[in-house]
Amino acid sequence: MNSLDDVVLNFSPGSLHILNAILAVVMFSIAIDLKPDDFRRLTKAPKPLLTGLFSQFLVLPAMTFGFVLLVQPQPSIAMGLMLVAACPGGNISNFITHRAGGNAALSVSMTAIATVGAILLTPLNIGFWGSMYGPTREILRSTHIDPVSVAITVGFMLVLPLLLGITLNVKRPDITARWRTRLQWLSMGIFFAFIIIALAANWGLFQSYAAMVAGLVIAHNALALSAGYTTATLAGLSPFNRRAITIETGIQNSGLGLVLIFGFFHGLGGMAVVAAFWGIWHALSGIVLAAILNRTKAER
């Protein structure tokens, strides 16, 4: 069996466009549940938002670096973990926060601001932490992340559907009330179907190497959730906001991660398998966590 560092997965440019479109639909399905007033309240009390961004872009990447130093995985796997940690919160985090009874407006605000900020902060975090770890330094030397391409991806996947969804909810609340729940579940179903199809196209490789990354991804995801919960708790936030920050930090935008991996890292096997497994596992862990948290109402 070849080293995972040398494996390149099969993922066509057309598949990337489909993935972007699916993630945009997921974002739109969440946005139609929100109104501008939800965000105005956050500007009057910015502490939860700032705490969440601190957890997302500083705490998680630093803890991931410590995790990599501790377990010392193969370079491409280490790079994949660092890249996932450098991505903003995933669109499905908004869906899961909503189901968990957390502050969905805070979650979407974090996703929106973090994803726009990712144009600079994601490449910065990848470059900084990747260069700090010797085995990943060589990978970085052969790649280049184009901020303009990231900005275009961000606009298509998040900003545009966010604005369209909120506008539709303001202008035609009768339509959003009728389609909200069905569209959310449909968009999530399409997302999971795409991941399954993508895995099927690379099933032989995934089957050979998934066991190598499964434990690392599960541990990394638990670390991310713990980072969000601990940061929010130390900041003295309410359970309502703490749920949002916990989930937002623990549910990473693995779809964006895959776009970056195939667009800028040439589909490097270890990175792609890490991001793909994250795409499955963080959704499962998040849905289970949401079901547990939703049993009790969070104090605001």
Predicted confidence at residue 1, as pLDDT, reads 44
Region 4-293: CATH code: 1.20.1530.20
Find the radius of gyration of the CA atoms of the chain. 18
Taking the chain (300 residues) in runs of 10, the rounded mean pLDDT of each run is 58 66 75 73 81 95 97 92 90 82 84 77 88 88 71 72 84 82 74 70 70 89 96 95 94 81 76 83 89 82
Residue 199 CA neighbour count, 13 Å, CB half: 19
Q: What would the two tokens of residue 9 be?
A: 């997965």
The domain ranges of the chain are 4-293
Predicted confidence at residue 38, as pLDDT, reads 66
> For residues 112 and 30, what is the distance between their CA atoms, to the nearest angstrom?
12
> For residues 142 and 192, what is the distance between their CA atoms, to the nearest angstrom?
32
Beta-carbon contacts of residue 269 (< 8 Å; ≥ 6 apart): 4, 5, 6, 7, 8, 9, 76, 205, 209
In 3D, which of 248, 286, 291 has the Cα closest to residue 106?
248
Q: What is the length of the chain? A: 300
Q: CB–CB of 253/99 below 8 Å?
A: no
Q: CB–CB of 82/65 below 8 Å?
A: yes
> For residues 138 and 188, what is the distance between their CA atoms, to the nearest angstrom?
37
